[in-house]
Structure 1
Amino acid sequence: MSPLQRRCATLALLLLLAAGSALAAQPRAFDARYRLEVAGWPSTSVQHRLSRDGAHWQSDMRASIAVARGHERSRFIADETIRALHYASSYRLLGIGKNYELEGEALARLPDRQSALFDLSRRAVGDDCEASCRLRYLDHRGREEQIDYRRLERSMLELPAGRFEAIRVEVTEPDAPERRMVFSFHPDVPGLLLAMEYHRDDEQRSQLTLTHLTLDGTDLASSPKGN
């Protein structure tokens, strides 16, 4: 795999990454923007929006790194458990790419990775996974993937968007122990990622940082506490 292909794969992983608790917090609409920094590339922006459409929720995430672009969209129902309904994505490398779609029987078996990201944020609050827990989901092609995760200590984050308490979760892949991601989630807003670090071979390769947040239609960019 060429360096460019590896970086495009990293972009897809960052877009995931990528059954909730009965006590899970209820979803809230948000519009978040991030700064993405990848070693060897100029920094760029990532957008993530969670919106309500009737009884459904839709997660929309998009990013671009130089000649590579990615966009994912997922529709799901968020009750005590997550029920994925439809997933669509597109990826472009040097202007050439593919579109993917999942629905029906595939998503009845396992959630797509945008739904899984939302589920992971709720599990981070409700589950007691200080050792290790496993989450199964479908990648953009409909292939089953697995990640192991464990909850870390809470911390306070000083971010461009404000000051937040964060639920931190370490994520690894069973077949790639050299890769490790640390997600920092908002404890009261399911699916809202505050920050993320990606490590490979004990070296930090990229990081994602929240720069702007609109929550329930209210702009919180100027709020010192981010509440």
Structure 2
Amino acid sequence: MPAPLRRCAALILLLAAGSALAAEPRPFDARYRLEVAGWPSTTVAHRLSHDGTHWQSDMRAALSVARGHERSRFIAGEAIRSLHYDSGYSLLGIGKDYELDREALAGLPDRQTALFDLSRRAVADDCDTPCRLRYLDHRGREERVDYRHLDRRMLELPAGRFEAVRVEVTEPDAPGRRMVFSFHPDVPGLLLAMEYHRDGERRSRLALTDLTLAHAELASSPKGN
């Protein structure tokens, strides 16, 4: 997969400690529109499902010539523990698969699990700014990012009107890069929107287009479900 698309996918399929103040997980199916500078827009699908004591996060994106997916299995209690992770990327039919087992994930979470946990941290807002996250990338290498809580605001999205908790994420070694994640305050792991900025320019953005929740709707005026 070309570097710009692979990096953008990593930012979405991204990001380790839990908060007892966080809401309980809820299964959901979400679809997004992803726009990346220099590439045609595409659809991203994200599903959070429950299997016994485990939760599974599955995210997929595809263009006409490139595709990628990530899947993580984890336990979501007061603390979050990664159990298994796998991913795959391809360009013109040529690609590679990756996998991290429980032993590899014993010290740090994979980035799908960490994305879920980042959403819980964003709502709790219980650390001094900036806060540090450590996680493993798809190859099992340690990555570090800093994040800070921005605000709560209403977002008008293709899927409806939602209250969002916004968090800015930066890389310690790349100050010119920053991401702004907008999470749903009551559904851990549910990303509403994302923007990626580099050198002062917005390079990509993501917006929720469809949402199906397991129980009651939580948007103030959603479309569809």
- Answer yes or no: same fold by TM over 0.5: yes
Task: Tell me which residue corresponds to 2:89.
Answer: 91
Compute the displacement of 1:217 (Å): 5.7
Provide structure 2 residue ranges, at least 5 long, that are not aligned to the other structure.
none
Aligned identity (percent) is 76
Q: 1:202 to 1:144 in 2, by over 3 A?
A: same
Which of 28, 34, 45 aligns to 2:32? It is 34
Task: Tell me which residue corresponds to 2:125.
Answer: 127
Q: Distance in 2 between matches of 1:46 and 1:159?
A: 15
Compute the displacement of 1:218 (Å): 6.5
Query: Which digits, 9 at most, give the CA deviation of each residue in 1:74-112, with x for residues without a partner?
Result: 000000010100000000022111101101221111000
One-letter identity of the residue aligned with 1:5: P
Task: Tell me which residue corresponds to 2:164.
Answer: 166
Which of 77, 80, 85 aligns to 2:78? It is 80
Contact 2:8 2:36 in 1 (8 A): no
Task: Tell me which residue corresponds to 2:14.
Answer: 17
One-letter identity of the residue aligned with 1:12: A
Aligned length, in residue pairs: 223
2:199 equivalent to 1:201: yes
Which of 71, 77, 89 aligns to 2:69? It is 71
One-letter identity of the residue aligned with 1:48: H
Compute the TM-score of the two structures, normalised by the length of structure 2: 0.93
Secondary structure, in 3 states, of the residue corresponding to 1:27?
Answer: coil
Q: Distance in 1 between matches of 2:102 and 2:55?
A: 17
One-letter identity of the residue aligned with 2:6: A
212-221 or 127-136, which deviates more: 212-221
Q: Distance in 1 between matches of 2:120 and 2:216?
A: 22
Q: Distance in 2 between matches of 1:156 and 1:93?
A: 37
Task: Tell me which residue corresponds to 1:154.
Answer: 152
Provide structure 1 residue ranges, at least 5 long, that are not aligned to the other structure.
none
Q: Distance in 2 between matches of 1:127 and 1:218?
A: 25
Q: Distance in 1 between matches of 2:179 and 2:128?
A: 15
Secondary structure, in 3 states, of the residue corresponding to 1:105?
Answer: coil
Compute the displacement of 1:12 (Å): 3.2
Q: Distance in 2 between matches of 1:215 and 1:32?
A: 9
Secondary structure, in 3 states, of the residue corresponding to 1:42?
Answer: coil
Contact 2:29 2:212 in 1 (8 A): yes
Q: Distance in 1 between matches of 2:145 and 2:88?
A: 23
Q: Supply the RMSD in Å over aligned alpha carbons.
A: 1.9
